[in-house]
Amino acid sequence: MSTDVEDPPAVRSAAADTLGVGLGLYPLGVAFGVLLVQSGFAWWWAPVFSSLIYAGSLEFLAIGLLLAVTPLASVAVTTFLVNFRHVFYGLSFPLHRVRGRAAKAYSVYALTDEAYALAAARPHLTGRRIVAIQAFCQAYWVLGGVTGALLGAALPGTVRGLDFALTALFAVLAVDGRRATRDVPGPILALLSALAALLVAKGQLLVVALGLYVAVLTVRYLLRGRRA
């Protein structure tokens, strides 16, 4: 059985593993960097965001939250709801294969959607390769953000529509999820949650919509369990 010490090509293998993901992460990071600078932040905030937050969807949201001087409580609730899925990632992520406290700490910090998708379903990966996969994923994102920030600072005008990049990404993911699961009630419940939040709490639309959707999905899950 191979071990981390006996796996010298781990970094090279991780580079090959993450190439396809990098082709998506890097340009999205560029869009984030351009949007960040053109929203009034200095270019060096891009690596700061990508190091302290390192959550693509939340980083896009953080720009608007900070510009709107959103209360800290609302920021905390939004962060919790947006990244709550990571709690479930941790239940099946192969952290036990990662050796060393520092490596484990980084692996927990760098647990993203992409890293989970690449590592969780492949039981043959060594701890070194798992950490290398996570490092490559973050490198693609950080480099994309810095590139976009420098590009945005050099552009003479404002690039319109970049704030829609994340919305477009999630729209595509939602369409793909619908095709894969054929789940009709899910998108409908999401739409109804957003409309309800728009009616009762327009100023806190995102927080209320996400909270309501999580509650509805929980009830739906419990009802399915009873029927089963």
77, 106 Cβ separation under 8 angstroms: no
Q: At what angle do helices 19-38 and 45-52 cross, to 10 degrees?
A: 130
What is the C-alpha separation between 152 and 63, in angstroms, rounded? 15
pLDDT tens track for 138-155: 999 999 999 999 988 887
Three-state DSSP state, 208: helix
pTM summary value = 0.70
Per-domain residue ranges of the chain? 10-181, 183-228
Question: Is the distance from CB of 11 to CB of 134 less than 8 angstroms?
Answer: no
| Mean pLDDT (whole number) for 38-51 | 88
- The residue type at 169: L
pLDDT tens, 82-103? 777 777 777 778 888 888 899 8
pLDDT band of 159, cuts 50, 70, 90? low
